[in-house]
Chain A
């Protein structure tokens, strides 16, 4: 198996739209959560979210959007087939490609592929279906489908960047971009591709976030600075966010030959399913235990070797509890692993979250710091025996693990090694 490294990153997130800003936000525990005007007046009591800044993509008519000045150039036909998170993803992908020092011919090569993850755009889909019901199918814009359904990211980005290698999309809710990353790593490790561009993105609007109020999964706190508080005893649900993160994984020799920045080596990854419930996690996190153990086994590592674990922990009672139980099961109580959830600062980005947190791990490993778990007033007693990192820790370390769990009890765990 070939060695796979992370050689490029791009960010459009509520904690920053470039690498430096994101790193600074995480290290200084600066959150991206605000009182979100589109939620005002809804009867859900949900008031806060982590919206993306610098983009106005609130209209269902793309020609109304205001995009950042450094947006990659778009022809009208390309603009009109994008979902809001497609605009985020294009920007983040252009960042990652530049970061990895990839030329146009290397991006558009039979040796380069792209895997994407998003849930599609509820806002665009609703707008088109509503129009179809009101005016009939012949009055629907022809690009309505590719700008809205799950898959919109790969339709648009693969054609925009003229990707010639493997491409597909992944849909496993909040584990989606973890699956995209893991399978992309395999694609490179097996020699099918030399590099893969992995994209995770979600709209950052009411139509994507508020439906979670229906299952009472969102925090109803009105205070942006404490609403998302994984592992806190009083946590009351997650805070929604959107954006896009792009990670380029590449065969190590190819990345070195191009003098690309090497963030980390991918040591291994694993999956495991709960086989339990369509939404609820298994109370003991059994699927997540399997995912972590499979990742450790593939990397050939004992659990004691892991220095840092970026937990999936979204700040829901049931989810955080199940993950704490799973962590205790895999790591002995005297293990050195430091655990945090960066979702306290970013909120939960659904399909975006896994690749976002993997990117955080790769960046933190390279720069030599560990992100802390913010906003904990009273640590949940269920975290006894788990080292929850409460302040940013500076200094080099060797191994970081990132967990993700999605609806249906799908779990992914990825291990990064300092290169």
Chain B
């Protein structure tokens, strides 16, 4: 590729990325890849997202945090393929969800080593297939499972039916749904962990809310905010599993729960004791 062709391919990319790409032509140094790739991504996202790309971390999600849909992804990949002289098959691209995924993927390509996608990451489709909760009552768009914890994200669209009435003329994501989102991530952990002690969750495909203690909400969340959801397993004794959980938005704590307990497995309904008070309304 001549410098002219490269400049044409990287038109409107930031100068540092173009410079890195020119250097890459001669030395093929994998260390240059992050600058080149971030520059190409920055060029294709909406202008108001560009500062976010500049500040992106490896775990920054392409879709819900940077607004990169599948069409923009095609343009980004086309330019990357041209500039780095690599080819990226569609089936491999589908596994890339974060900035870090892209960097690792291209690094492996340039070094000629096989790329192993992070198997713990679940897409929105995979989550919807695993959980009994479904849109419009599913508040989890991506999730990643670790041995004793899970992280996930949900971008508030503003079209959630609940938000239409919460509040009048002022859309705010209900705090109760944040606790629900934490519960859904914890349920997903139980269903998909693969651990023998949670077999009951896997086989029934669901978990039931039991208790929540030490719930705090510290930030109002509105449409276009992305909830970064984390749960950590504290203890488990069938049929109960207890987690702690946090939700952050833009690096700020939005909500936390000290203990969130779910019940799983074949739950027997207990005989309801008659209530002493009755609903009058």
Q: Which residues of A line the B interface, CB within 8 A?
A: 63, 75-77, 138-139, 141-143
Contact = CB atoms under 8 A, between A and B. Distances in A.
A142 B45 CA distance: 15
Given A63-B12, A77-B71, A77-B72, A139 B46 contact: no
Nearest to A76: B46
Contact of A75 (B12, B46, B74, B78): B46
Contacts of A138: 78
Given A63-B12, A76-B46, A76-B47, A142 B75 contact: yes
B58 interface: no
Size category, B interface: 10 to 19
19 contacts: A63-B12, A75-B46, A76-B44, A76-B45, A76-B46, A76-B47, A77-B46, A77-B69, A77-B71, A77-B72, A138-B78, A139-B78, A139-B82, A141-B75, A141-B78, A142-B71, A142-B74, A142-B75, A143-B71
The A interface, classified by DSSP as helix, strand, loop or mixed, is helix
Given A75-B46, A143-B71, 8 more contacts: A63-B12, A76-B45, A76-B46, A77-B69, A139-B78, A139-B82, A142-B71, A142-B74
Contacts of B74: 142
Contacts of B44: 76
Interface in B32-57: 44-47
Contacts of B45: 76
Interface string B55-72: 000000000000001011
A88 B74 CA distance: 27
A194 to B, nearest CB: 25
Contacts of B72: 77
Contacts of A139: 78, 82
Contacts, number: 19
A76 B48 CA distance: 11
Nearest to B71: A142
A144 to B, nearest CB: 11
Interface string B75-113: 100100010000000000000000000000000000000
A34 B45 CA distance: 39
Contacts of A63: 12
A72 to B, nearest CB: 16
A77 B71 CA distance: 9
Contacts of B78: 138-139, 141
Contacts of B75: 141-142
A78 to B, nearest CB: 10
Contacts of A141: 75, 78
Nearest to A143: B71
Interface in B208-238: none
A98 B193 CA distance: 56
Nearest to A141: B75
Contacts of B46: 75-77
A225 B46 CA distance: 45
A142 B79 CA distance: 12
B63 to A, nearest CB: 14
Sorted nearest first, the 8 A-B pairs with minimum C-beta distance are A142-B74, A142-B71, A76-B46, A75-B46, A139-B78, A141-B75, A142-B75, A63-B12
Nearest to A63: B12
Contacts of B69: 77
A294 B69 CA distance: 50
A138 B46 CA distance: 23
Nearest to B45: A76
A138 B86 CA distance: 13
B55 to A, nearest CB: 20
B14 to A, nearest CB: 15
Contacts of A142: 71, 74-75
Contacts of B12: 63
A336 to B, nearest CB: 57
A156 to B, nearest CB: 14
Nearest to A135: B82
